[in-house]
Structure 1
Amino acid sequence: MKNSSSIGISEIGTSSRLKRIGLIVPSSNTNAEPDCLMLIPASVTLHVTRSGGYDVNAIPDSKEMRSFVRKSIDQQVKLLVDAQVDVIAYGCTSATLSDGPEFDKEFCNEIREKSGCPVVTTAGALIMAIKSLGLKRVSFTSPYVKSLADESVDFIRQCNIKVVNQVGFEKNLNSLEQGALKPHDAYEMAIKADHPEAQGVVISCTDYRALEAIPAIEAKIEKPVVTSNQALMYVCLKQLGIEPDCASAGGQLFSRFDSHG
């Protein structure tokens, strides 16, 4: 056994610093972080800050999401800039899905100007992931209320992707109830949402344990599945030019990963 005095300097790590993803999530969100950590390789670290100012017991509808996304996140962005992150991920899908693709781009640009680094929204990442898989027709499911789900579907359609079926929960769920859903709930809703004309299934919401259900869903329907957190990390890793080392956790999307594509 070597003692400390016999360890040469060459045996001490001298590689450059790890790449850093900065993540902004709603304050009640407890599922985005574990999902992201399942997907990023050891060469990347995750740095998270939270955005609040909403009632976690209220039903997050279109009006609530539009209000939430317009609250200042200057402090959250500054904290991530202080951490010298290499890319900022905005981890609330419905916040910009509810306002359309143009608002999503403007929102990205605003954060980019304040931070000086690349920015990825989950809504934008969903579209990029769907297109990376070459899907032109998809089914959609989420734990959102009907009005918010309808706006999410409209966002996808505005990006020239056809949504052939849409499925949601019968009960309107508040933020805490959405976060408490199990992977089996995501599995059942995805199977229900699948459609003969759909080339894949999209599962939206970062506070929804859909990632863990991807292998079972894809095995059952024999089609790719795109989830919010999976898509977000997929685009962030592509932005960093780093390939994942956990392709199985990310389903077909990650198994086809090309950091240069």
Structure 2
Amino acid sequence: MTQSRGRARFGILVPFTNTNLEPDMALLRPDGVSMHFARMGGYDQDEIPDADQMHGLGAADLDEPLHLLQGVRPDVILYGCTSATLTHGPAFDRALAERIKADSGAETVTAAGALVHALQTLGVNRIGFASPYVSAINDLAVGFLAETGFETVARSEVSDALDNYGQGNLDPQAVFDLGLATDHPEAEAIVLSCTDMRSVESIGRLEAEVRKPVISSNQAMMFQAMQLAGISEALPGYGQLLERERL
């Protein structure tokens, strides 16, 4: 029988228009882990989520959602927006994680930091990068990853500037196509960045096609959160990263 609680509590901060992070975490949830969500603002739902909007989200006051999330006494807190800290840079991302941990007492994972951690764990250096972001955010994302030691040898992006709901409405086939378009002979892994993109459902199929690891924001966050919670068993079906046991 599947156990829904008793092993660890994960508290997850999610942008208020995001519709896919919670379902993804339900798919990825390890046995015995309960998940608790608080929604955060700091951007305009009616604007295109460009670099300025996501920069604003990254700098937004987290006191209220973090206070509400602390009510469940989570063991690990996940900051569930990748582009919010990609637009600020690695130092900001690390400082945000440290601040959340200091304020909450919980171990902390950021989506952008989790991508870096996953790639380091896999020992890759060159990647293909795909996302539903506008080009300016992709430029910042590639720069962020370069600062943390990863060379982007190919990148794929959508042709139109998607609004907040357009990003979340991409279906798994569209995500698969986006990921496949960034495959490159020199890429050792494919990165699918965005917590509101339905990447988790496409990882296994895409890995079978490109024969290399595929990393998504939500999968990478779960991987790191499980490590921090001392949960070591493999989770099959969602890519090589989660199919390996964690020490």
Structure 1 unpaired stretches of 5+: 1-12
Query: What one-letter code is carried by the residue in structure 1 that aligns with 2:117?
Result: M
Q: Which has the larger radius of gyration?
A: 1
* Match in the other structure for 1:217: 206
Alignment of 1:19-38 (within 5 A): 19-38=8-27
* Match in the other structure for 1:9: none
- What do you get for the CA RMSD once the two structures are aligned? 1.4
Query: What one-letter code is carried by the residue in structure 1 that aligns with 2:245?
Result: F
Structure 2 unpaired stretches of 5+: none
- Return the offset for 1:212: 0.2
Q: Does residue 1:117 correspond to 2:117, yes or no?
A: no
- Return the offset for 1:53: 4.0
Query: What one-letter code is carried by the residue in structure 1 that aligns with 2:226?
Result: L
1:162-202 Cα shifts (integer Å, max 9, x gaps): 11011101100011110111011110011110001001100
Q: Does residue 1:134 correspond to 2:161, yes or no?
A: no
- Return the offset for 1:132: 0.8
Query: What one-letter code is carried by the residue in structure 2 that aligns with 1:152?
Result: A
Query: What one-letter code is carried by the residue in structure 2 that aligns with 1:81?
Result: Q
* Separation in 1, partners of 2:192, 2:29: 20
* Separation in 1, partners of 2:245, 2:117: 12
* Separation in 1, partners of 2:191, 2:60: 27
**Equivalent of 2:218, from 223, 226, 229?**
229
- Return the offset for 1:244: 4.6
Does the 8 A contact of 1:140 with 1:167 survive in 2?
A: yes
**Equivalent of 2:89, from 89, 100, 115?**
100
Does the 8 A contact of 1:101 with 1:158 survive in 2?
A: yes
* Separation in 2, partners of 1:53, 1:138: 31
Query: What one-letter code is carried by the residue in structure 1 that aligns with 2:69?
Result: L
- Return the offset for 1:246: 3.1
Does the 8 A contact of 2:6 with 2:33 survive in 1?
A: no
Alignment of 1:103-252 (within 5 A): 103-244=92-233, 246-248=235-237, 250-252=238-240
Identity of aligned residues (%): 40
* TM-score, length basis structure 1: 0.90
